[in-house]
Each structure stands twice: as structure tokens, then as C-alpha cells.
Structure 1
């Protein structure tokens, strides 16, 4: 079924779309305050969840033992420390965990109640995600900053312009994660394996994003292949920028890639939602 494109002959549709967008934007400050308060109620659980992400620390110990005999490629011991400690922080800033809630609500019919709210359910999930970032930064940032300060060797580009670029790239990476995971969650309209799809996505992303192994240490052929995927953009891109390892042209290409993949992810979510909600309502959920 073709969707009509708003034209001057359809001003009402365009005005309705703009009004809906304006209403959503006006609601975000309130949603962020609500979900920030809710996040503070579960700060202990969040701390335990943060401490459970030990994969980078394990890999750091492995690489440090290897680096004792000399640099590995362009990485020495100090570079490995800076890389993996920064990876822990950036992972906390970009990680999204909404797949289970979305999958449960669709399969059990809980989505019906959410559809009665004034905004699209996606806005509530996005606001909850955004509201959790400051607390995670406060819990993870200071100990990592202290470790980087005390350990000799890590080199980070902490110039103001680079920190602003890293912040922008990290925010874009979080949005990429959010919309791709939301798209995976929406497959629950058709299958009970949405969470299994996410586990496959997470495994590939852990390897392809540089979370487990720095991409610079992978074979050149694999590096070239990964550049055509969104995986390096959700972690490796802001991480290597923070380490000062990216030339200006690579930074520009990275932001362009994030923008293109984000547009694709948003379009995919819109398509899956439109098709899935018809199926959901048809079955009277």
C-alpha cells in the first residue's frame, strides 16, 4: 500500500506530523525527570550490573601479559590500558538494554496499555535510556579517570574540540544502538526468537565494534569488511577518536557513516512498527 507524500494539497497531514513531533519534544523534559528519579531508585542494581561487565578487564590482562615482551602492532602496555578502560566507559554510555521489555510487552499483550499513552511507546523507551546515562557516567567515570591518571603510559586526546567530537560520536552511537535494538525487538510481532536474534547481534557487535579486540589488531581484510557495517561506529569510532588515533578525514567519514546508518535504522523501525502494529491489532492483542 503506497503512502501519500505530504504536498501543498495535503497541508493537514504535514501540520499533524509537525504537531505530533512538537508534542513529543515538549514532553521529553518531563519524561527525563521522571525516568531520572526512577533510575536513582535502582542505583545499587545499576552499580552491580556495571561491575558485571568484566570482559574488557579480562582482555586487558591478556594483552598486558603479551605486551610485556614488546609492543603489539601500534599498541604498547599503556595504550592497551587506555583503550580498554575507555572502552568500559563508552560501552556504558552507548549500551542499550530494552530488547527484553519490548519483546515481553509484544508477546504478552502488555503493549496494548502503552498504546493508550499520548506518545509513541518509543519515546518513553528513549527517554528512559537517556535518563540513565548521567548516573552511569557518575558511577563509572571517576574510578576510570583515577586509574588512567595513576597508570603511566595511557595517552588520550583531551583537547576541548576532541572531547566535544567524542561526546557527539558517543551520542550518535547510543542512538544507533537504540534504533537497531528496537528494530530487533519489533521482530517479536512475528516470532518468539527476538531475544535470540539480539544475542547473535550482540556477539557480532562485540567482535566488530572493538569491544573485545581492538580493530587495529585485526587482519586488514577484516578491517576493510567491518568498515561497511555499523559495528565499528557504535564503539570503536568514538574510542579511537578519544585515543587520538584518527586523522581528520577518518573522523569526517565516521560521522557521515553514523548519520547514514542512523537514518537507515530509523526507517527500519518505522517500517517494522507500521507492519507489526497492523498484525498486533488484527489478532486483537
Structure 2
């Protein structure tokens, strides 16, 4: 119990320090207040043109699509992560050696940093974007079940971090990871339903995506917010899909631990 309390205090302290650090450079975050709604506006123009006759596509009409993309914008803002860049930078620059001397695991430290960073993003990015969607686009996003949405969002937050952390460990094997990170990041967003609802993908691809971690980052929290879930003809209740999300978080935690251990062994073997 004492160890858990000590770990919690360390997490809060790191998160608060990160919050204060990024608050000093909050102009970086304010840029998202322009980028996010602009991306959403592009989606509005595209889908209004495609569904000008009032039809539907993949079970979505214009109203449903606008709600979907609005929810994607909010969820993507809240789960945003840069653990892959941070870890590869430490390894490539040699500063990783100092990480090994800390009494706290780097994964726990990085997760605490992300927590502080996104707490700042909650009121500086997500809340203003929510108000813009409501006041400008008349899209009021209210969770069908607040408790399940918060839990699903927290799990998506964790899975996003773990996926990126696994990508960051590639720096143990690769000299430069920028290209790999961009490619994997793009595929992650495609498979998470950021650019298109996964229901619009071919059925066979939907079946594959159901078993990959990416849909649990964005698509699942969005569907939980909207109050229903279906993919590849599989319909699950909100508690069931959130349970699947929790299982995926455990699997990704195990994968990140495996890659970390293998990477540390290689890093040591390199004579660092």
C-alpha cells in the first residue's frame, strides 16, 4: 500500500510539473483551436457535397457524420500523445542513460507527463473546441453514458500512449525513426477511424481492425460517446466493448514491457 501511495504521489508531482511547464508555452496549444475546427469544416464541406441529395452512406446521414467527426475531434484532442518522439529522442541523443538511473520506470514517468499535458489540453483545447462545435456548428456532444465514456476515454488515452511507446522503442534497433513513426502514425489514425468511420471500410478489413488495438484509441470512445457500437457486423453493448478495450490495454502494456526489455538488452549490448 505504501508503494502504491508513493507511486501515486510521484505521478501527481510529475503531472503537475509537466502541466506548469506546458502552461508557460500555451500558445502552442492554442494553435489547435484553429487547426481542429478547420479540419472539421473541411469534413463538413466534403460530406455535404457527397450527401447533397439527403442520402446515407454506410448507415450515416449528414447529421450522423457531423456528430461522428465532432466526437473524433474531441477524443483525438484528449488522447493526443508524443511518447514515441520523446523516447526515440532520448535514445538517439544519449540522454537515455540518465533514464536508467531514475528510481521510477521511464514508462511510468512518460505516462505521468502525458497526464499533466492532457490535463492542460482539457481546458485549453478540448473544452473550447466543444464550445465551437456547439455554438458555430450546432453540434452538442453529450455522452449517452457519462461514466462509461470517461472510462472508455481513459482506456483510449492509455492505449494511445502504449502504442506510441512501442513505436518509440524502435529507436533501440533503428538509427533514425522519423520515417517509421510517420508511417505508423498515419496507419494508426486511419485504422482508428480518424479520417473515415470504420463502418465505411470493406467488411473483411473491418474484421481485421476489430482485433487490432487502433480502433480502441478513437473509434471505440467515439461510439461509446454516441451510445452504440458496431463493427464488421459485430454489435456489442457499451459495457462489453469497454471490457474489450480494457483487455487490449493489458495486452499493449505487456507488449510494451516485452519491447522495453528486448530493447534494453540490445542497448546494453551496444556498449553504451
- For Structure 1 versus Structure 2, the TM-score category normalised by the shorter chain is 0.7 to 0.9
Separation in 2 of the partners of 1:56 and 1:261?
29
Instruction: Note if contact 1:78-1:155 (Cα within 8 Å) is conserved in structure 2.
Output: no
State the match for 1:195 in structure 2.
Answer: 178
Aligned equivalent of 1:63, options 47, 58, 83: 47
| Cα shift at 1:40 | 0.5
Q: CA RMSD in A?
A: 2.4
Mean Cα displacement is larger for which, 234-243 or 24-33? Answer: 24-33
Aligned match of 1:132 in 109, 113, 117? 117
Partner Cα distance (1:85, 1:41) in 2:
28
- Give the drift of 1:116: 2.1
Structure 2 equivalent of residue 253 of structure 1: 240
Number of equivalent positions: 265
In the alignment, which of 92, 96, 108 is matched to residue 123 of structure 1? 108
Q: Which residue of 2 aligns with 1:113?
A: 98
Q: CA deviation at 1:148?
A: 2.6
Displacement of 1:272 = 1.7
Aligned ranges for residues 11-160 of structure 1 at < 5 Å?
Answer: 23-49=6-32, 51-53=34-36, 54-73=38-57, 74-140=59-125, 141-149=127-135, 151-152=137-138, 154=139, 156-159=141-144
Using the alignment, how far apart are the partners of 2:141 and 2:26 within structure 1? Answer: 29
Change (3 A) 1:156 1:19: closer
Contact kept, 8 Å, 2:228 with 2:238, in 1: the verdict is no
Q: Tell me: CA distance 1:272–1:151, structure 2 relative to 1, closer, same or farther (3 Å).
A: closer
| Stretches of structure 2 lacking an aligned partner (at least 5 in a row) | none
What secondary structure sits across from 1:52 in the alignment? helix
Counterparts of 1:271 and 1:148 in 2: how far apart (Å)?
Answer: 44
Question: Would you say the 8 A contact 2:189–2:195 is kept in 1?
Answer: yes
Q: Aligned-pair distance for 1:87?
A: 1.0
Alignment TM-score, normalising by the size of structure 2: 0.87
Q: Provide closer, same or farther for how the CA distance between residues 224 and 282 of structure 1 changes in structure 2, counting only shifts above 3 A.
A: closer
- Give the direction of change, closer, same or farther, for the CA distance of 1:80–1:148 in structure 2 (3 Å limit): farther
Q: 1:195 to 1:56 in 2, by over 3 A?
A: farther
Report if aligned partners of 1:99, 1:182 keep a CA contact under 8 Å in 2: yes
Q: Say whether 1:274 aligns with 2:261.
A: yes
Whose Rg is larger?
1
Q: Distance in 2 between matches of 1:277 and 1:20?
A: 25
What secondary structure is seen at the aligned counterpart in 2 of 1:211?
coil
How has the CA–CA distance of structure 1 residues 89 and 40 changed in structure 2, closer, same or farther, with 3 Å as cutoff? same
Give 1:211's aligned residue. 194
Cα pair 1:33 1:131 within 8 Å, conserved: yes
Query: Which segment drifts farther, 37-46 or 114-123?
Result: 114-123
The CA deviation at 1:21 is: 5.2
Instruction: Assess, with a 3 A threshold, how the Cα gap between structure 1 residues 116 and 20 changes in structure 2: closer, same or farther.
Output: farther
Change in 2 beyond 3 A, CA 1:180/1:212 = same
Runs of 4+, deviation exceeding 6 Å: none
Cα distance between partner residues in 1 of 2:76 and 2:24? 22
Which consecutive residues of structure 1, in runs of 5 or more, have no partner in the other structure?
1-17
Give me the TM-score of the superposition, normalised by structure 1: 0.83
Find the aligned partners of 1:166 and 1:95 in 2 and give their Cα distance. 17
Counterpart Cα distance in 1 of 2:216 and 2:239: 12
The equivalent of 2:206 in structure 1 is 223
